[in-house]
Structure formats: C-alpha cells, structure tokens
A and B are shown apart, each in its own frame.
Chain A
C-alpha cells in the first residue's frame, strides 16, 4: 500500500528559485493537507483541500500556492524561495474532515533547504 507519496525527499534551492513539491495519495481521500515543521516547532498547516477543485489557506500560507485538479494529487508550489522556507514539509490526507473520525495519513516528508 503506497498511502501518501511525496517527492522529492530532499531538495536544495537558491533564493528566488521556484519549485513544486508533489503529493499523491491512493486511498481516495477527499481531504488533503500540507504542513511544515520547523526545528523545535509543531506542525503548521500551510494549505488544505476538501476535495478536487477546492483549496483553502491554513495557518502559514504566505509564499506558497496549491492546486487540486484531481482527488489523488495535491502539489505545493513555492514561488521565489526564501531562507524562511527552509523546513520539512509533510503532505497528509484523511477520509473525513473531522478530527474525531479523520485520522491523518502522512507522507514521509520533504526536506527543503533554501540557501
């Protein structure tokens, strides 16, 4: 079972470059999320989606964009990378949008460094 797959696992960017973190899930989950985890901090929600064609901002959306053209895919786009975006990024999905029934399934993470 693949679950949630993220690529790439590691990437180094120069300031001002752009890139896309890919995320795909094979569980037919409607809900998908992008989190970032900085050292010594909890997971912070960047963007989420409740279904194909629908996305919304989370707690820390600045500097990012997302799209959800299919149920399976939820790419995260970084435009004009900045050192503050150095972090570990996690994609997640859930069957339900409610915390008491919607266990989050996470990908393995993508470690991004902006120099």
Chain B
C-alpha cells in the first residue's frame, strides 16, 4: 500500500523549459512534505520542503506547490538545466514535522533535461 505515489517513472524536458514533477499521497495525516534529489551512484540530497500550512514554497529555480484538498504536490523547476537530470523523490511525514523515522518516500521520478 503505497501512501506516497509518484506515478511518472520518468520525465524528459528540454533545457530552459519548465519541469513539473508530481506526487500524490493518500494519508490525510501527512502534513510535511520534502523533495530529495539523487544523482547516479550518489545518495539522495535534500532539495526543498513544504508544510501543510502553506500552499507554495520557493527556493531559487525550485518551487513546490501543495494542494491539500487533492492530496497532491508538485515540484516545478524553472528554467530546467542539464544538471537537474536526476531522480527526484517525494517524501511525507505526519504530525507536523513528525519523527524522521516515520518519513514515507515515493518511488521516484527520473528527470532527463535535454540540452
């Protein structure tokens, strides 16, 4: 039972265009969400997060949008760069910043940014 779903295993985007990575969740108790980025042969690294009291959080080229009613969040990368090519994992936790050992990860989306 996958509580955090990333239904697109892969996404290909042209350099300079917008990349939109989607994540859906089923547990209404989730109230804190994170995105991690993973390059091949490396461990995931934290990218950006959002709490349920917000519907948008922005950090440079990266913006995460949260739609609580739809239990959906998305990561926007604008403009996309070849160096953004990586696997992106969505993760969720409950009880506002609940314990890190309760993080639930999605299956990841492989983003390929074409030059």
B96 to chain A, nearest CB (A): 7
CA distance A4 to B99 in the complex (A): 20
Question: Given the complex, which residues of B lie within 8 Å of A56, measured CB to CB?
Answer: 101
Q: Is the CB of A100 within 8 A of B43?
A: no
For chain A, the count of residues having a C-beta within 8 Å of the partner chain is 29
Question: Given the complex, which residues of B lie within 8 Å of A97, measured CB to CB?
Answer: 99-101
Given the known interface contacts A106-B43, A106-B44, the answer about A42 and B97 at a Cβ–Cβ threshold of 8 Å is no
CA distance A100 to B9 in the complex (A): 26
Given the known interface contacts A42-B4, A106-B43, A109-B43, the answer about A100 and B49 at a Cβ–Cβ threshold of 8 Å is yes
Q: Is the CB of B43 within 8 A of A98?
A: no
Q: Is the interface of B mostly helix, strand, loop or mixed?
A: mixed
Is A22's CB within 8 Å of the partner chain B?
A: no
Is A108's CB within 8 Å of the partner chain B?
A: yes
CA distance A1 to B105 in the complex (A): 27
Identify which of A43, A92, A109 contacts B89 (C-beta below 8 A): A43
CA distance A25 to B86 in the complex (A): 24
| A41, A58, A94, A98: most-surrounded residue (chain B CB, <10 A) | A98
| A56, A58, A94, A106: most-surrounded residue (chain B CB, <10 A) | A106
Identify which of B44, B46, B49, B107 contacts A41 (C-beta below 8 A): B107
Question: Given the complex, which residues of A lie within 8 Å of B108, measured CB to CB?
Answer: 42
B52 to chain A, nearest CB (A): 11
CA distance A100 to B42 in the complex (A): 23
Is B63's CB within 8 Å of the partner chain A?
A: no
Identify which of A90, A101, A102 contacts B43 (C-beta below 8 A): A90
Q: Is the CB of B45 within 8 A of A106?
A: yes
Closest 3 CB pairs of A and B: A100-B97, A106-B43, A42-B105
